[in-house]
Structures are given as C-alpha cells and as structure tokens.
C-alpha cells in the first residue's frame, strides 16, 4: 500500500505555534501517513524536555482575548512585566478546560505513532544549545537530509 | 446499538484525541472486531467519517444519543 507522506517544518517556539505541528502530525499518522517534522530555529524549543513555552498578544493582533479585550486593551499594556506570564497561564487553563491535549501528551503520541522528529543541527550549534536538554528519540540532521523525505512528500507544510 | 467487542470512552476529549485513541484501540484488535466509541466532541463526527475513509476501517454506525456521539467501527 502506498503510504502518503507529510513533511512539516516547524520554525516557531511559542505556545500557540507549538500545537499545529504536533496536532497535524499525530492526526496524519492516525490516518496512515508517514510523517516527519523538521525543527529549526525557534521550533527547537518544542523538543526541550522541559517545555516552558509562552504566548503573548504583543505582536499578535489576531489573538482573541477574554471579554472582548482585544478591541480596547492598549497594545502598550501587553508589554508590561507579568502580562506575558498571565496570558500564558490563561491560555493553558482554557486549553485544559476544553479537553485539549497538553503539548507533552501530543508530542508523546507523535513519537508513539512513529512520527520522526528531526532537529536542525545547524541551529542547535548556532544557538549553542545543549542536546541533553532535548527529549530522546530525536535525529540531528541538516536540510539536505530532510529534503530526502520532503522531496517525496505529498504534503509539505511550513509552520 | 449493535454488538461490539470493545469500548472506548473519549468523552471530554477534543480533536485530535478521539481518533488517536481510536487508532490505538483498533491496533490491538483483530480483523472483523467492532469498536464502540463514545465522544462529546462535535467535530468527531466528521473526523471519524474521514478516518474510516482513509484507513479502510468501516464506520458501521454514527449517531447522537443521550447527548453524546456514538460510533461503531469495524476493524478492516
């Protein structure tokens, strides 16, 4: 049976950008796709053992806020100390209350479903990251290795 | 509700958990066996239709009962 292939390039490291790669990859895998995610630049944050991702409305005018606040809350105030932390914990609470899986769970499901996780070696070196801070089961490689798979993929997404 | 061999309660779980759990449950079942799934996520209706179409497992029944969505999937 010819399996369809899904390739994802994950480049962002904030909480809101972390969900799409893992949800798409795990779902594709459940539907029988062979899937690979290439984590580069800030996407590498998604591979850390201790996930401590944040989200902020600052610079994200499209982010909905409770009580219609996005309509009148001044952008400048979102830069105040503590705002990012508050927004992040509000977002996490909302996710939990709506039965959305945690990032750790989604990531684990991906690995269980044999989604291949590839970390961009170049970016790891660039930011002097310590590979012991990353979860196990990650392959370290470059773009050329990723293109081997991406070039044959039916779907390739840049997130 | 027709007979089923195994049951999966995915109540309270939202996309993509219902189909991910279903896939796991089906992997451990023999061909021809039926999995009964209960879910509260309204999106799961279309999700399971797509799941059945793409994985070749048969969606024998899909209905809403008692405020929850009930599915019967037969392992291909």
**Residue B59 at interface with chain A, using a CB cutoff of 8 Å:** no
User: A14 vs A123, A155, B53, CA distance in Å?
Assistant: 17, 23, 34
Q: Do B16 and A23 touch (CB under 8 A)?
A: yes
Confidence category of residue B1, pLDDT binned at 50, 70, 90 = low
Name chain A contacts of B40, Cβ cutoff 8 Å. 99
Closest among A28, A38, A18, A63 to A154, alpha carbons compared: A28
The SS3 assignment for A121 reads helix
H or E stretch including B73? strand B68-74
Q: Which two tokens stand for residue B15?
A: 């996309």
Phi, psi of B47 (to 5 degrees): -60, -45
Using CA coordinates, name the residue in chain B closest to A112: B24
pLDDT for the residue A1 = 47
Q: What is the mean pLDDT of residues B36-60?
A: 93
Quick one: what percent of chain A has pLDDT higher than 70?
Answer: 99
Closest among A98, A84, A125, A80 to A19, alpha carbons compared: A98
Any domain includes A77: no
Name chain B contacts of A100, Cβ cutoff 8 Å. 14
Domain span holding position A118: 5-56+103-158
* ipTM greater than 0.90: no
**What is the domain count for chain A?**
1
CA distance A24 to B15: 10
Name chain A contacts of B15, Cβ cutoff 8 Å. 23, 27
Pairing of strands A5-10, A34-39: parallel
CATH code, domain with A10: 3.40.1260.10
Using CA coordinates, name the residue in chain B closest to A100: B14
Q: What is the mean pLDDT of residues A117-121?
A: 96
Any domain includes A93: no
pLDDT, tens digit (0-9, with 9 covering 90-100), for A29-81: 999 999 999 999 999 999 999 999 999 988 888 888 888 888 888 888 889 99
Active-site residue numbers of B?
15
CA distance B30 to B76: 9
CA distance A136 to A47: 9
**Counting one residue from A and one from B, how many pairs have CB atoms under 8 Å apart?**
38
Where are the extended beta strands (E) located within chain B?
6-10, 34-39, 58-65, 68-74
Q: pTM of the predicted model, to two decimals?
A: 0.88
Any domain includes A138: yes
Alpha-carbon dihedral sign for residues A135, A9, B42, B45: negative
Whether the bond into B16 is cis, omega within 30 of 0:
yes
Question: CATH second-level architecture of B6-74?
Answer: 2-Layer Sandwich (3.30)
Using CA coordinates, name the residue in chain B closest to A19: B16
Q: Do B16 and A30 touch (CB under 8 A)?
A: yes
Any domain includes A97: no
pLDDT, tens digit (0-9, with 9 covering 90-100), for B5-17: 999 999 998 888 8
């Amino acid at each position: 049976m010819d399996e369809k292939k899904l390739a994802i390039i994950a480049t962002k490291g904030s909480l809101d950008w972390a969900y799409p790669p893992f949800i798409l990859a795990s779902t594709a895998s459940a539907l029988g796709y062979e899937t690979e995610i290439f984590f580069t630049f800030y996407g590498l944050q998604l591979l850390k053992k201790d996930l401590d991702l944040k989200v902020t409305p600052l610079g994200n005018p499209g982010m909905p806020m409770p009580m219609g606040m996005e309509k009148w809350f001044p952008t400048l105030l979102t830069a105040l100390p503590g705002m990012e932390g508050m927004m992040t914990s509000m977002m996490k609470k909302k996710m939990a209350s709506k039965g959305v899986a945690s990032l750790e769970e989604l990531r684990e499901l991906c690995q269980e479903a044999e989604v291949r996780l590839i970390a961009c070696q170049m970016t790891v070196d660039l930011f002097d990251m310590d590979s012991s801070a990353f979860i196990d089961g990650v392959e370290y490689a470059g773009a050329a290795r990723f293109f081997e798979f991406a070039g044959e993929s039916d779907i390739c997404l840049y997130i | 509700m027709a007979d089923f061999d195994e049951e999966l309660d995915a109540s309270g779980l939202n996309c993509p958990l219902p189909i991910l759990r279903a896939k796991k449950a089906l992997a451990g079942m023999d061909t021809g066996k039926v999995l009964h799934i209960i879910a509260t996520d309204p999106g799961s209706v279309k999700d399971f239709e797509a799941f059945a179409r793409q994985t070749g497992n048969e969606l024998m029944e899909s209905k809403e009962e008692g405020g929850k969505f009930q599915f019967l999937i037969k392992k291909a």
